[in-house]
Structure 1
Amino acid sequence: MNGSVRVGHVVGVPLRMHWSVPLLVGLFAFGLGRQALPVWTPGRSAAVYAVAGVAGAALLTGSLLLHETAHAAIALRKKISVEDVTLWALGGTTRMGRPQTAAAALAVAVSGPLTSLLIGGLALGAGIGLANLAGWAEIPAVVLVWLGWANLFLGVFNLLPAVPLDGGRVVQAVMWWRTGDRDRADLAASRGGQIMGMLMVAVGWISVLRGAPGGLWIVFVGLFIMIVAGAERRRATLHTSLQGVRVADAMTGPVVSGADWLTVQRFIDEVAVPSHHSAIPLLDFEGRPSGLVQLRRLATVPPASRETLRIREVATPLSQCAVAAPDEPLSQALDRLTLSTGPRILVVDGGRLVGIVTGKDISRLVQRRSLGGAGADGRPDGEP
């Protein structure tokens, strides 16, 4: 979600807005104010249509936010970490950790569509009720009916069995529950998402060739589904290939680290430059890990502040880092990765930092196993 900015919080998690949201609101407002309302309630002024169009677009955007908020709220209730909620051109997305049970995955998946269907039903009912009144109520009635049908469509569309749509998540959860094999369920659902995405792209292009410009939106949605489903298929394949592998089998140690009480300038001179690493763990006064600092973050610190600012103040705290024990399954540890620290897992044993797992470590391990040079435990054949 590059290009999004933080605008607040919702249910305790950061709320971000993509630059495409104003464009989305504008399109909704134009479609309602310049096309739908003049047809359904003719004879009103352009100003009335414009205000009603903007109001309807704002209400629809708010309903999209409620859809994603439902996902985030249920995820938090099921003890699933939620990184943020982001609104963008295709509605919204909630970035969260992987559910640990099929029941939790199902609850999170259905919460969004059910919220949209509930909003749709309430708005439609309220609009039909107002339609029986004359005069001023006609415009609000049309806006509410439009909002209701839009939410009903959103709820039904999201139930299509294609990852990353909520319906695809439902398929994942049900298959996981029936087979007991999470990776198999993820792989099957992601394949279904890719197939559905290709079908949508084909239908969209046929619509465009027949003179329907709206087919471009279907093409765009289909491409999005194909890309995300492909990424999830690769992740499921990775999890399958790492079965039986421990974190210790992939980690690198000892780890180059730095004291978290150093100033930014001193840290750069004494630790960052000599290490040649893009991210470095931090240790507190007692030698325990306290966070992770990325060099690209240091580059944003003004030179005038580097002599007084402590390095821990610009680092990602340990609570937001992916942390694992050496004997823990690597596939399970991978589920804790976040965008804030990238593909890095801090390996901690007895409160001490003993190693780190990076994307290169995982890639090297997978390549070694694919060549048949490692046993089931991930260590080279013959190693005790």
Structure 2
Amino acid sequence: MKGSFRIGSVRGVALRAHWSVPLIMLLFAYGLARRTMPGFAPGQAPVVYAAAGVVGALLLLMSLVVHEMAHALTARRAGIPVRDVTLWALGGLTRMDRPATAGAACAVAVSGPFASLLLGGIGVGVAAGVEASLGWRVPVAVLGWLGGVNLLLGVFNLLPAAPLDGGRVLQALLWWRTGDRERAQRAAGRSGQIVGMALAALGWLAFVKGMSGGLWLMVIGLFVAGTAAAERRWAELFMALRGVRVAEAMSSPVVAGPDWLTVDRFLSEVAAQAGHSVLPLLDFEGHPSGVVRMRRLGRVVRAAGVAACTGCGDPGVAVHARRARRAAELRPGAPRHRGWPANPGHGRRPPRRHPHRSRHRPVSPEPPKSVSRRPRRPAAAPAPTGHIGREHAARTAGNHCGGGGIGLEHSVLSILEHTVLPTYDVDRNACR
């Protein structure tokens, strides 16, 4: 998630926090100190309420971590790769690959609410025991509040609405029943839209009647409805592309541009005529060397103040494909290096023969995530504007995992299935 930073790891799973987490924790601490604690344990000093508010907010944050780690560790036990866990304003999300079976999906979804309900029961039980034996009013109030919140969130997440955990359970059951993952996801998304709009309506009514918590419920409901709609559209896309082959989805010939052209010539001779938002690049041997996004290229050029490159008469001021997150520099005498390896994480960068920087600023062509390198064969340099036939493009195209080439006979879904779609559980978001 953008705007997040790493705060540690649990059992090998990276733990990250969004910038909104400190803000929401401060709001919880303030609410506990000003309203909740004085109501449960009146007659205490303000500093006691402040300390109780901070402790309660931190314990709630730890509860969120436990919930998300339940998702993550259950997924790892099921053989599902887990990327990281991120905490944010509405709870947390766990990024992982899609489960391979309905049983695994159901187990991962149930684990989070189960952990929350378990924590809630422990909190309420310990609070009752402390009150009966020691009579400590403030600790009892903190533990009782924490237990109640965990019980509430555990039950709330079991609502049968995607992207909540209950929606994941519903999707897994429908998947097991019908054998169709996408149809089950579409049904869970439709249920999520209905439940989300109902929650938003209830929140609005509560807010109109003077209950400030209704505004928060309305925000959560709108979030659930919006995310469920996105999941439903994604499922419908998968269903629509069933049986569609790569050859049917590709244009012929595939328009491409040489990677040695100047930026000015590339924009005027290739991009303007092609009219595409993304264009592949070819090296001198006619092999794909990268892809470049027109919007990003134009944005960087405008930011650098070189809408029309002053050095475009020099053929050395060229568009080059570089390593991911490394800009291609526009400078006189830039080396005409070869393109990308199949795995962007391997291979060596071209040597920097000209360490000095000119007034030309870098642009950022994208690495060819869908381009797989092949053994080089001597070939003549392609024309300034080129075309790749569908056969050649399909032979050199790899999947999103950096694997082997995708042929014309492969399904378009073989590409999309490697794309991770983030889906969220409100308050305890699990992204699968």
TM-score (norm 2): 0.64
Shift in Å, 1:250:
2.9
Kept in 1: contact 2:29–2:50 (CA 8 A): yes
CA deviations 1:128-178 (Å, max 9, x no partner) are 22222336x432222112111111111100000111000011000001111
- Residues 1:332 and 1:140: Cα distance change in structure 2 (over 3 Å): farther
Kept in 2: contact 1:158–1:167 (CA 8 A): yes
1:153 aligns with 2:152: yes
- Residues 1:330 and 1:321: Cα distance change in structure 2 (over 3 Å): closer
Kept in 1: contact 2:400–2:415 (CA 8 A): no
- Alpha-carbon distance between aligned partners in 2 of 1:214 and 1:66, rounded to the nearest angstrom: 25
What is residue 413 of structure 2 aligned with on the other side? 331
- Alpha-carbon distance between aligned partners in 2 of 1:334 and 1:102, rounded to the nearest angstrom: 20
What is residue 372 of structure 1 aligned with on the other side? none
CA deviations 1:72-109 (Å, max 9, x no partner) are 22223323343432211111122333222111110111
Kept in 2: contact 1:291–1:317 (CA 8 A): yes
Within 5 A, what are the aligned runs for 1:298-317?
none
- Alpha-carbon distance between aligned partners in 2 of 1:332 and 1:55, rounded to the nearest angstrom: 49
- Alpha-carbon distance between aligned partners in 1 of 2:166 and 2:221, rounded to the nearest angstrom: 15
1:49 aligns with 2:130: no
Most deviating of 78-87 and 178-187 = 78-87
SS at match of 1:132: helix
- Alpha-carbon distance between aligned partners in 2 of 1:62 and 1:282, rounded to the nearest angstrom: 48
- Residues 1:189 and 1:39: Cα distance change in structure 2 (over 3 Å): same
- Bigger Rg over Cα: 2
Percent identity of paired positions between Structure 1 and Structure 2: 51
SS at match of 1:73: helix
CA deviations 1:219-275 (Å, max 9, x no partner) are 10110011101101111111111111234543578796999xxxxxx9998xx9898
- Residues 1:275 and 1:167: Cα distance change in structure 2 (over 3 Å): farther
- Residues 1:112 and 1:215: Cα distance change in structure 2 (over 3 Å): same
Select the structure with the greater relative contact order (CA < 8 A; seq sep ≥ 6).
2
What is residue 243 of structure 1 aligned with on the other side? 242
What is residue 86 of structure 2 aligned with on the other side? 86
Shift in Å, 1:329:
3.2
- Alpha-carbon distance between aligned partners in 1 of 2:69 and 2:109, rounded to the nearest angstrom: 12
- Residues 1:81 and 1:318: Cα distance change in structure 2 (over 3 Å): farther
- Residues 1:248 and 1:302: Cα distance change in structure 2 (over 3 Å): closer
Kept in 2: contact 1:291–1:321 (CA 8 A): no
- Alpha-carbon distance between aligned partners in 1 of 2:256 and 2:420, rounded to the nearest angstrom: 21
- Alpha-carbon distance between aligned partners in 1 of 2:237 and 2:175, rounded to the nearest angstrom: 17
Kept in 2: contact 1:8–1:14 (CA 8 A): yes
- Alpha-carbon distance between aligned partners in 2 of 1:54 and 1:268, rounded to the nearest angstrom: 58
- Residues 1:282 and 1:47: Cα distance change in structure 2 (over 3 Å): farther
Runs of 5+ consecutive residues of structure 2 not aligned to the other structure: 301-324, 350-363, 371-398, 423-432
Kept in 2: contact 1:322–1:337 (CA 8 A): no
What is residue 133 of structure 1 aligned with on the other side? 133
What is residue 221 of structure 1 aligned with on the other side? 220
Shift in Å, 1:280:
8.4
CA deviations 1:183-240 (Å, max 9, x no partner) are 2211111111111111111111111121212111111011001110110111111111
Most deviating of 218-227 and 322-331 = 322-331
SS at match of 2:7: strand
Letter of the aligned partner of 2:86 in structure 1? Answer: T
Letter of the aligned partner of 2:198 in structure 1? Answer: L
Bigger helix fraction: 1
Letter of the aligned partner of 1:195 in structure 2? Answer: I
Q: CA RMSD in A?
A: 4.0
- Residues 1:236 and 1:206: Cα distance change in structure 2 (over 3 Å): same
TM-score (norm 1): 0.72
Letter of the aligned partner of 1:157 in structure 2? Answer: F
For this pair of structures, how many residues does the alignment match? Answer: 332
Kept in 2: contact 1:121–1:152 (CA 8 A): yes
Most deviating of 124-133 and 101-110 = 124-133
SS at match of 1:43: coil
- Alpha-carbon distance between aligned partners in 1 of 2:115 and 2:289, rounded to the nearest angstrom: 39
SS at match of 2:95: strand
- Alpha-carbon distance between aligned partners in 2 of 1:152 and 1:302, rounded to the nearest angstrom: 50
- Alpha-carbon distance between aligned partners in 2 of 1:288 and 1:36, rounded to the nearest angstrom: 66
Shift in Å, 1:42:
2.1
Runs of 5+ consecutive residues of structure 1 not aligned to the other structure: 260-265, 341-384
Shift in Å, 1:15:
2.9
- Alpha-carbon distance between aligned partners in 2 of 1:206 and 1:134, rounded to the nearest angstrom: 42
Letter of the aligned partner of 2:226 in structure 1? Answer: I
SS at match of 1:5: strand
Kept in 2: contact 1:183–1:240 (CA 8 A): yes
SS at match of 2:133: coil
Shift in Å, 1:290:
11
- Alpha-carbon distance between aligned partners in 1 of 2:63 and 2:97, rounded to the nearest angstrom: 24
Kept in 2: contact 1:290–1:318 (CA 8 A): no
